[in-house]
Amino acid sequence: MDKTNFTYLFFCFIVITQSVKAQDPFEELDKELQKITRYTQATFKANRITFGQSVETRKKGILEFNVRTKYWNMPDSQTQNFGADFVTARFGIDYAITDRFTTGFGVGTFDGIFNGYGKYRLVRQKDSDKKAPIGITLFQSTSYQSRSFNHIDLQNSISDRLSFATQVILARKFDSNFSFQLTPTFIRRNSDQFAGEPNNHFALGFGVRYKVANHVSIASEYYYVANPIEDTHLSFFGPFALGVNWDIRNVIVQFSLTNTRNFAETANVVNTFNNFNFNNGNLHIGVSLTYALHLKKKKL
């Protein structure tokens, strides 16, 4: 090989080497992008699965208005008709103070319960991150029962009318369609309305959501109560619900079937005295509407 060819080959080698090195900044940029934390979005889409709380909290500055209604008929020993004899509703408002903390307040028309809550997202699930495979949210609510329920007299003391619900909500979104949730629950009721009612109740909630179309999903949940109320005249069951969600932009509509007619966590978990079936007036049809208003716009 003469000197000219050697010089040419050496020059080509230098050019190729520099070209490879020139790609390094792009490779470093790709590595940096991979380090950016990507949080899992829309595990359950809404603040509630059906009647119970979900792991979700709202983005900072979002104000939500929600109307939840339930319809049922008179007990009938033969069948459950779809004509509604009774209706109850809850009017609520929720506001996200930060991305992690949401608070809300509402009132139910059937049982006269006023309740407020605070909800803090302690851990957010991260995409492709084994260090945060689940989301964890802490929930605390206080309820005040303003009038008698089921013809049971209430104590005059304000403290006797108060109840409290504490929940640690654990959830995981396994893929773009399926989400699952566990909700250990502790409920404290200051007054016992039934002869065999303990003041403290422990329950475990199970919730699922499955997305079947772009704006349609199926949701269901059930609560197992470890120490239910024992009464000689009434039987109590764990609340169960099966619902269909339709969401588009800032509106979420849900249709559900459930055996509980209450809305507050302190009532529906332990005060459900209907089994989930089509007999004896046990079936309740729920219709819920949630509208989100963005008070704080994102900065460009």
**pLDDT at residue number 136:** 97
Structure-block tokens of residue 221? 């949940």
Quote the distance between the C-alpha of residue 293 and its chain's center.
Answer: 19
Total number of domains in the chain: 2
**What average pLDDT does the structure give for the chain?**
85
Question: Are 262 and 231 contained in the same domain?
Answer: yes
pTM: 0.83
Question: Are 252 and 127 contained in the same domain?
Answer: yes
Rounded CA-CA distance 115/137 in Å is 19
Q: Is 299 part of any domain?
A: no
- Per residue in 104-138, pLDDT tens? 999 999 888 999 999 999 999 998 767 789 999 99
Question: Are 225 and 242 contained in the same domain?
Answer: yes
Residue, of 163 and 161, whose pLDDT is higher: 163
Quote the distance between the C-alpha of residue 129 and its chain's center.
Answer: 23
Q: Is 131 part of any domain?
A: yes
Query: Which residue type, as a one-letter code, is found at position 65?
Result: F
The pLDDT-based confidence of 155 (bands split at 50, 70, 90) is low
Is 235 within 8 Å of 273 (Cβ atoms)?
yes
Question: Are 228 and 185 contained in the same domain?
Answer: yes
Residue 79 pLDDT > 60, yes or no?
no
Residue 10 pLDDT > 60, yes or no?
no
Residue, of 143 and 3, whose pLDDT is higher: 143
Helices 3-22 and 24-35 sit at what angle, rounded to 10 degrees? Answer: 20
Rounded CA-CA distance 268/264 in Å is 6
Question: Are 50 and 16 contained in the same domain?
Answer: no
